[in-house]
Each structure stands twice: as C-alpha cells, then as structure tokens.
Chains A and B, each alone.
Chain A
Amino acid sequence: MSDPFLIGEAMTGGYGRGGPDILHDCTIAVDRGEVAVIVGPNGAGKSTAMKAVFGMLDLRRGQVRLDGQEITALSPQERVRHGMGFVPQTHNIFTSMTVEENLEMGAFIRNDDISGTMEQVFELFPILRDKRDQAAGELSGGQRQQVAVGRALMTRPKVLMLDEPTAGVSPIVMDELFDRIIEVARTGLPVLMVEQNARQALEIADKGYVLVQGRNAHTGSGKELLADPEVRRSFLGG
C-alpha cells in the first residue's frame, strides 16, 4: 500500500521540551481527494494531534511525511511553503483588515498573480465578495470562518488543515460550512479537520480517527465508525 499524501505516523510528544507527552503513538493521515476527521472526547488530544502534524509541538518519536517527503524537522512556516494550509481554531483572521486584505495576506508567500485564486475563493464563499471591503472583525462568526478558510486557500495549498472550523457557530451555519468544506475537498484538495461535532463530521468523512487520551482508539471510514456500536455508545450518545 502506498503512503498516504500526508501522514503523521506513530507520533509521541507534547508541548515544550520537558512537558509531559500528550500524544502516544498516534497516527493521522489523509489522502488525495479525501476528507479525514479527528474526533474524540474533550481533552483527547485532537487539536494537539493536528498541531503535531503541522509542526507546532516537539515530537519525541514518530515522523510526518508530506507527499512521501519527510518534514518532521520543519517549522510550521516552512510547512506552509511546502503546501500545507492551516486554519487555527481561534485568532484565525486579521480582524482590523478588510476581507480582501486578509486574502492578500494569505497569499503573502506567492509572487505571482493572485487574482485567479481570489476569484475562486469568492466563488466558493460568495458572501465574502460582497463584504470584501469590510473589516473582517465586523463579520459574523460563520463569515469569519469563511475568511479564515479563504485565507488558507490563498496559498493554493496541497492539503488543508482545519482546527474545529465550526466552533462557536450556529447549527445552520455549521451545516453550510460543512457543505463548503466538502466542495473544497471535491476539487481534489485533501482536507484534514478536527471536529467537536462528531456525528456530522463523520457523516462527511472518508476517514475518521477517534482519539482517546492521545491514542488512536478507533480508525475507519466515516460510515464504519458511525455504524460501530462501541463508537456510537461512547461518543455519539447511542
């Protein structure tokens, strides 16, 4: 079996050099054209696992590979240049800048013409076109998340990573955001995301990772996990 496009394999580590381990032998991967979600109870290390893949904590063991290339030692900034797009859970937009400026800053590492990519983002999130000259901090929660995802897309990443994109938005907005994320994935861009709303997330997932206490508890396709009685009982409320 060939290597998935992005894989964090057998990752063990925590924040800081002397800090306790949060992840234990944890593996997360996403392949081309797939949506992979990380779910699990509070404090299971979902966000930590994603941050580990993105290089935001020191791994004691394990490695991260992107398109077959080992990137374990790279800083998050270097990973962005290698094609990883990351949307943090909070503070993920420039609140004092306009929507358009947010997108421009997203494309800061590019030196070519960005208007085509910006047009694609506006097609994906039409509301942003109308609000392009408005300060991003004035937008609603769902619109801000669209700006955040749009900003990450501006680098034309090879893989998109979302840390709880639906945190703090209403259920209706959540459904809409999920629709958009599926749309992004359909363009062939692999999407790896951490989700609090396990059921909805697994419904759209090609692959799901259930983490418990920093370990892989269950892994499978979204449908398999939804059908798994143990997963249902422990995380999905029966």
Chain B
Amino acid sequence: MIDLLNAIVALSNFVLVPAVTYGSQLALGALGVTLIYGILRFSNFAHGDTMAFGTMVTILVTWGLQALGVGFGPLPTALLALPFGIAACMALVLVTDRMVYRFYRAQKAKPVVFVIVSIGVMFILNGLVRFIIGPGDQRFRDGENFIITARDFKDMTGLREGLALKTTQGITVVTAVIVVALLFWFLNRTRTGKSMRAYSDNEDLALLSGINPDRVVMVTWLIVAALATVAGTLYGLDKSFKPFTYFQLLLPVFAAAIVGGLGSPLGAIAGGYVIAFSEVLITYAWKKVLTYLVPEALEPDGLVQLLSTNYKFAVSFVILLIVLLFRPTGLFRGKAV
C-alpha cells in the first residue's frame, strides 16, 4: 500500500506536475498560433520569436525593478514586469502588421505567401532579440523557489518519495487558468469577441454583416501578443530564457495547435497537454516508479526510458505526423492544414 502511494507521489513529482506546467505553457503558445490561423488565416512562424521578444522586454524591466529594489515578496518580480512586456509586444506586433502583413492582406496574398513572410519576420525578430539581450542564457527568477519542497513533503507525510511544487509551477497553472478563462469569456460573451469568431467562421458573411475586418485583425494581434508574452515569461521563469530555445518551442507549439485542430481555441489547450504529457511520459525514466509497483524479482535493470530527453522534439514531430496522416483536422475539428 505504501509502495503504491510512493509510486503515485514519484509519478506526480516527476511526470504529472512538470507535464501540467509545460502543457499550460504550450497551450498558451498554441492559443496564439491558433487565433492567428483562424482569423488571419496563416501559420505564423514568427510566434516563437514573438514570445521571445515579449519575454525579453519583461526580463529587462524585471532587472530594472530589481535594481530599484522593487520586489514582489515571495512571487517573482517578473510578474510585475509582465504588463510592460505585454505592452511592448503589442506595439511590436502592431508595427509588424502595419509594415509587413497589411501589405500582403491588401494584395489578398495566398496563405503560403503569408507563411514565407512570417518566416522573414521570424528571422528579423530573432536577430533583434539576440542583438538586444544576447544569445546566452538569462536567469531572472527571484522570490521563493518552492511552494512545497520535497523534504517538507516527506516530513509531512512520512513517505519515502517527496513531491516538490515549485513556485513557478504554481504560478504557471494559476496564470494559465486565469488567462484562458478571460480569453473564453471574451470570445464567447463580448460583441468584439463574437465578431472575431464570426470573422474566423465565414469572412464574407462577416463583411456583409458590417464587421470591420481591420478592427478584428488588430484585436487579434493584441490578444496574441498578450498570450505570447505570458506564455514566454512563464516558460522562462520555469526553465530559463534563451532566444534559441524559444525558436525551438515553435515545433511543440505548432504540434499542439495542429493536434487540437487549427483555429479551435479549445483544441489548442487540449493539444498543449497532449504534447506535453507525451513528451514527458516518453522521455521519463520509469525505473523508480516501477520499482515500487512490481515484485522485486521483476525489477528493471535499466532506466526504462523510452527516449532520451535530447530527442524530446521527436515526440512532438511524430504526434504531428500521426495526426496529419489520420485526422488532419485535429481533435476538435479545426481547419485542415
């Protein structure tokens, strides 16, 4: 019985909690991708670097606040800096839209042209972020590290396994829930939100109904900038900030959006967790959990790790392929790619 409890705790500590955290971060990223796809109708390859840009501004403001001696108690100062990051990111995407995407919209360019254009924007943002903050690893986390440490947990429960809960994990999940709730409230309850859904559903009819496309596009970019900055900052707090990592996040984020069904916000969230859980479950070394569960004679010799963590991106890629082959519209019947 105790063994079972220990197994559950170990599983939670190493798989469930990290996967829920990572899944929430991916879900927020994928929501941005899926909104752009649904409303502007292209796959935005610059999304990873948009996340990096917003996070970078958040980090710079965090450092400034830290230098001024401003803190947020046990919570990371970055949360105070977040609104500045979001505002800067909103300004960036509006300028990009005005200078780049609007031209192609006026031409009624094909989606594939938009994709190539977004790759160009991606390279520019990539360079911009590295130029400003450098290509290296940046740490900006402060405040309390843990809500519960493994040792406290062991002392409280008397179990051999500990369940640590990092502050960043708690913040990620709480923030994600709040942001998603706000987003769905906006999309389903407000006039502007409904007009965005209408525009995504049937552009011609939306125009006939008097919905202003410029306004829909602008509001979409503002929401996407906020989502990208929040997702990037949460990821950076939880792991660390490095421009190249954010570029790499593009694959799991897109995988999440496509698995869920491009254009479907609900799908983006589900997809985020599907990808995160698959990645963590497949790259986790199961030896510890199995040791508690199977009789001694059957104890595994190896680590029982299906795939090294170095190959974690392969997991998103394989899931992506499977979905595209067998259910191209994704779990929630988005638009076919």
Contact = CB atoms under 8 A, between A and B. Distances in A.
Contacts of A96: 197, 200-201
Contacts of B195: 105, 108
Contacts, number: 57
B210 A108 contact: yes
B201 A94 contact: yes
A108 B211 contact: yes
B205 A93 contact: yes
A105 B200 CA distance: 13
Secondary structure call for the B interface: helix
A80 B210 CA distance: 7
Interface string A93-137: 111110001001110110000000000000000000000000000
A76 interface: yes
Interface stretch (A24-32, A84-92, A193-201): A84-92
Interface in B203-230: 204-211
A155 B211 CA distance: 13
Interface in A115-172: 151, 155
A91 B202 contact: yes
A81 interface: yes
Classify chain B's interface size.
Answer: 10 to 19
Nearest to A109: B210
Contacts of A92: 205
A185 to B, nearest CB: 21
B201 A97 contact: yes
B207 A94 contact: no
B293 interface: no
Given A88-B204, A88-B205, A94 B198 contact: yes
A80 to B, nearest CB: 6
Interface in B179-200: 191, 194-195, 197-198, 200
Given A96-B197, A97-B194, A109 B204 contact: no
A77 to B, nearest CB: 6
Contacts of A106: 209
B209 A151 contact: yes
B194 A104 contact: yes
Contacts of A151: 205, 209
Given A77-B210, A81-B210, A108-B211, 9 more contacts: A77-B207, A80-B210, A91-B202, A97-B197, A101-B197, A105-B194, A105-B206, A105-B211, A109-B210
Query: 5 smallest A-B Cβ distances: which pairs?
Result: A109-B210, A94-B201, A105-B198, A108-B209, A96-B201
17 contacts: A77-B207, A77-B208, A80-B210, A81-B210, A86-B208, A88-B204, A92-B205, A93-B205, A95-B201, A97-B198, A101-B194, A105-B198, A105-B211, A106-B209, A108-B195, A109-B209, A151-B209
